[in-house]
């Protein structure tokens, strides 16, 4: 992840304040994902807008929820939201060795655009040492939101 694991309730309050201000400014923001069967909190996803036409997405799920397709379902939902609100470029960055995350992006029709060398810090892995990331994106061709590549 591109942020340090929260150590205190204040860390989480800080994120919630950021999330609320983002929702006030943009048509979408952070989401929580819940189990339909049990109601348990599974993880989180969302859209982070850079401009009205360009947004970044990502996802994080609890370890005991991995391997059940939830990240793919969450990302597909974010593709739908992005399309609906008129985003043209939806992109995501992931650690260069993160095969599971890359696979999730590819399953949802994202294309690998390249490697950004020494681009992003992963504070839970190597604080203060930017690492290589893969840049994936999906482009919506027009205002009707046709995705160049569809989810498989
Ligand atoms: C990465 C993460 C989101 C995946 O969530 P998930 O719900 O397990 O993902 P899904 O089940 O939807 O899909 C995972 C896919 O990756 C594949 N996969 C898993 N581990 C893999 C590996 N080591 N190498 C290649 N593919 C792998 C799975 O087989 C599956 O593909 P398939 O459906 O074709 O079989 C989850 O591990 C996570 O939350 N990790 C911590 C936070 C994080 O890393 N977020 C991403 C930051 S970029």
The confidence band for 97, taking pLDDT boundaries of 50, 70 and 90, is very high
Q: What percent of the chain has pLDDT over 70?
A: 93
pTM over 0.85: yes
58 lines ligand 1 (CB under 6 A): yes
The confidence band for 143, taking pLDDT boundaries of 50, 70 and 90, is low
Closest CA to 31 of 87, 86, 70: 70
Find all residues with CB under 8 Å of 99, minimum gap 6, and list them. none
Q: Which atom of ligand 1 is nearest to the CA of 95?
A: 48
72 lines ligand 1 (CB under 6 A): yes
DSSP string, 28-91: --EEEEE-TTT--EEEEEEEEEEETTEEEEEEEE-GGGTTSSHHHHHHHHHHHHHHHTT-SEEE
Distance 69 CA to ligand 1 centre (A): 8
Average pLDDT over residues 70-88: 98
| CA separation for the pair 75, 98 (Å, rounded) | 16
Question: pLDDT at residue 151 above 70?
Answer: no
96 lines ligand 1 (CB under 6 A): no
91 lines ligand 1 (CB under 6 A): no
Q: What number of other Cβ atoms are within 10 A of residue 62's Cβ?
A: 13
Report the CATH superfamily, name and number, of domain 9-139.
Gcn5-related N-acetyltransferase (GNAT) (3.40.630.30)
66 lines ligand 1 (CB under 6 A): yes
């Amino acid at each position: 992840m591109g942020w340090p694991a929260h150590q205190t309730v204040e860390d989480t309050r800080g994120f919630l304040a950021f999330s609320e201000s983002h929702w006030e400014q943009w048509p979408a923001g952070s989401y929580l994902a819940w189990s339909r069967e049990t109601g348990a909190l599974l993880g989180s996803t969302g859209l982070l807008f850079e401009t009205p036409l360009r947004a970044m997405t990502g996802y994080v799920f609890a370890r005991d929820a991995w391997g059940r397709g939830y990240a793919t379902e969450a990302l597909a939902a974010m593709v739908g939201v992005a399309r609906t609100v008129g985003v043209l470029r939806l992109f995501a960055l992931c650690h260069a060795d993160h095969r599971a995350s890359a696979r999730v992006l590819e399953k949802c029709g994202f294309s690998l655009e390249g490697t950004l060398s020494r681009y992003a810090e992963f504070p839970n892995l190597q604080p203060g040492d930017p690492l290589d990331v893969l840049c994936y994106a999906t482009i919506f061709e027009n205002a009707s939101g046709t995705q160049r590549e569809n989810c498989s």
